[in-house]
Amino acid sequence: MVAKVISGPEVAEQIKQELRVKVAELRERGITPGLAVVLVGEDPASQQYVRNKGKACEELGLYSRTVLLPSDTTEEKLLSVVDELNADPRVHGFLVQLPLPKHIDENKVLVRIDPAKDADGFHPMNVGRMLIGDPLFLPATPHGIQELLVRSGNDPDGRHVVIVGRSNIVGKPVAAILMQKKKGANATVTVCHSRTRDLAALTRMGDIVIAAIGSPRFITADMIGPGAVVIDVGTNRVDDPSAKKGYRWVGDVDFEAVKEKASAITPVPGGVGPMTIVMLMKNTVIAACRANGLVY
Ligand code: BQF
C-alpha cells in the first residue's frame, strides 16, 4: 500500500477560513483578538516558532505582540512580565514559549498565567479541566492532531490509538483528548515511552500511531501495521550543509519507508506543525470572545 499524504497546511487553511468569519464578526463589534508571545533566550528553533505565531496573527488580522527577553532574565522579571500581560486588556491570550532556561521554574511561570488568558492551555487548572472533559482551552498540538484526524477522514472513534511519547505538551494531553467520551474522540488509547518493553509489538497494534518522541526517524516501517494511520509530531532540526539554511526538519517517523505500509501519513514539515499554529489562533479568538461575554 502507498499512503495518502495528509496535508497540514490544507486542513489548517479550512480552520483559518472559519476563524476569518469569527474575526470579522468580532471586529464589527470593535474587538480585535490579541495574542502575546514571550520568548526568553535565543534558541533558533524557538525563534522560528515565535515568528510563525506572529505571522499567523498578521495573516488573520489579530493583534500580535512579541516580548523578547535575554537568556539571563530572572524568574522574578519573567513573572512580572506575565503579571503585565494578565492585566493588559488588548491581550486576550498569551503564552510563554517553552522550553525555558534552566534557572527558571517552568511550573511557577505557568501557574502565574491567568487561566482565562492561557492560550497554550498549560496552566494546571486548564490541564485538569481538559482531563475531566470541561476545557477552557485545549493545548494546540494535541487539539490540532485531533482536528487533523477528523478532517482527513480518520475519526479516532472506536479505534486503537498508540501514542509514543509521554510529554506534558503532546503525549499526555493527546491521550486525554482522544479518550474523552466525545465526538471526534472515543478512542482506545495506549501510551508508550522510552521504558516500554517490546515497543514495536504495541505500535504494530495501532490503527492510529502518534509519534511524539523527539528522535529523528525513530519509527520504522516494521513498527507499523499494514494500513495504519501515522501522525508524525516530530520537529527535529538536523544540520544539512546542502540545505539553503544549513539545516532541515526531520520527523520522528521514517517517512519514505512507512509511507509504503500506512494508509495515511503526515509529512514533516507540512503536517502537524501548521495545525499547532492554527489551533493557537483559535484559542486566541475563543479568549477574545469570552472576554467580551460572547460564545465562540
Ligand atoms: C511546518 C515545537 C517542539 C518543541 C517546542 C509549522 C511549526 C513547525 C512546523 C511551529 C513547535 C512545533 C512549536 C511547521 C510551534 C510546531 O510547516 O511543518 C509550524 O511553529 N510549531 C512550538 O511553539 O514549540 C515547540 C516543537
Q: In angstroms, what is the span from residue 168 Cα to ligand 1's centroid?
A: 15
Q: Is 180 one of the catalytic residues?
A: no
Contact 225, 204 (CB under 8 A): yes
**pLDDT attached to residue 123:** 98
196 lines ligand 1 (CB under 6 A): no
Catalytic residue among 22, 97, 232, 261: 97
Contact 260, 221 (CB under 8 A): yes
273 lines ligand 1 (CB under 6 A): yes
Atom 14, ligand 1: residue with shortest CA distance: 273
Q: For the chain, list residues with pLDDT below 70.
A: none
Burial class, 285, CB count within 10 angstroms (exposed 0-12 / middle 13-18 / buried 19+) = buried
| Candidate from 37, 50, 52, 95 with most ligand 1 atoms within 8 A of CB, to mutate | 52
**pLDDT attached to residue 162:** 99
**pLDDT attached to residue 1:** 87
Contact 126, 136 (CB under 8 A): yes
Question: Whole-model pTM above 0.95?
Answer: yes
**pLDDT attached to residue 194:** 96
Q: In angstroms, what is the span from residue 55 Cα to ligand 1's centroid?
A: 13
